[in-house]
A and B are shown apart, each in its own frame.
Chain A
Amino acid sequence: RKEVEQDPGPFNVPEGATVAFNCTYSNSASQSFFWYRQDCRKEPKLLMSVYSSGNEDGRFTAQLNRASQYISLLIRDSKLSDSATYLCVVNHPGGYNKLIFGAGTRLAVHP
């Protein structure tokens, strides 16, 4: 079993749609959770951290369910510029900043 699993997609949605991505992780001792965005042939960039209480940043909402070891990202009112791959990222507990990346979910927003 992979340490971080995501649906690879692609998710093809029209502008204005709401889309949700899910992610599961295997190490119950993980403490930090993130969503990164990666554009085609570019580096990953931090989109948002994910907190136990859930958090929102504009059109983006992230949720964490520790009991189920499940993380989600909701994008409301999708824009063409949201087209990218979204990587679910979890820290590897072990004393330094080691991150485990999912393979990503690809989103394509069309007019």
Chain B
Amino acid sequence: DAMVIQNPRYQVTQFGKPVTLSCSQTLNHNVMYWYQQKSSQAPKLLFHYYDKDFNNEADTPDNFQSRRPNTSFCFLDIRSPGLGDAAMYLCATSSPLGAADTQYFGPGTRLTVL
């Protein structure tokens, strides 16, 4: 089935140790998003790619970077994780050719920072 896949599902890292989260999709969607969601809070958009065009949200810390080597894959790099970066990281996709504004989410990666 076409889907959005995130790896790993659970990631434990140490304070300051770089970590990379992975997202892949078989939907062939142009747009890929990364969200951060902390407990009992709304998902917060960090950035998105429209094809190869990268769009950073104004309040996304520099500590967060992203790469999209091809249509199917997108990575979230956290250069120096702090305790406050512990959260669920959600990848989503959408297509401007499909149902307007509908986003399809992956299962998320839960990040723990020790």
* CB <8 Å contact, A101 and B101: no
Interface SS of chain B:
loop
Q: Mark B72-112, 1 if CB is under 8 A from A, else 0.
A: 00000000000000001010001010011111011110100
- How many of chain A's residues have a CB under 8 angstroms from any CB in B? 21
Interface band, chain B: 20 to 34
Contacts of A102 in B (CB 8 A): 42
Which residues of chain A from 18 to 71 have any CB-CB distance to chain B below 8 Å in the complex?
32, 34, 41-46, 49
By the criterion CB–CB under 8 Å, are B48 and A98 in contact? yes
- Given known contacts A101-B42, A103-B42, A43 and B48 CB-to-CB distance under 8 angstroms: no
Report whether B100 and A32 are in contact in the complex, using a CB–CB cutoff of 8 Å: yes
Once the chains bind, are B42 and A97 in contact (CB under 8 Å)?
A: no
A98 nearest CB neighbor, chain B only:
B45
- Judged by a CB distance under 8 angstroms, whether B31 is at the interface is yes
**Cβ B103 vs Cβ A97 within 8 A:** yes
Task: Take A42-B108, A43-B108 as given contacts and tell me if A99 and B90 are in contact as well, using a CB distance cutoff of 8 Å.
Answer: no
Find chain A residues with CB under 8 A from B70 CB. none
Give the complex CA separation of A34 and B104 in angstroms: 13
Interfacial chain A residues near B110, Cβ < 8 Å: 41
Chain B residue contacts of A96, Cβ below 8 A: 31, 48, 50, 55, 96
Q: How far is the CB of B29 from chain A (nearest CB, A)?
A: 10
Question: Which A residues between 50 and 109 are near B, CB-CB below 8 angstroms?
Answer: 87, 91, 96-99, 101-104
3 nearest A-B residue pairs (beta carbon): A43-B105, A101-B42, A32-B101
Residues on B lying within 8 angstroms of A by beta carbon are 31, 40-43, 45, 48, 50, 55, 88, 90, 94, 96, 99-103, 105-108, 110
Known: A32-B100, A97-B103, A98-B45. 14 other contacts (CB 8 A): A34-B102, A43-B106, A44-B90, A49-B99, A87-B43, A91-B101, A96-B31, A96-B48, A96-B50, A97-B31, A97-B96, A98-B48, A104-B40, A104-B42
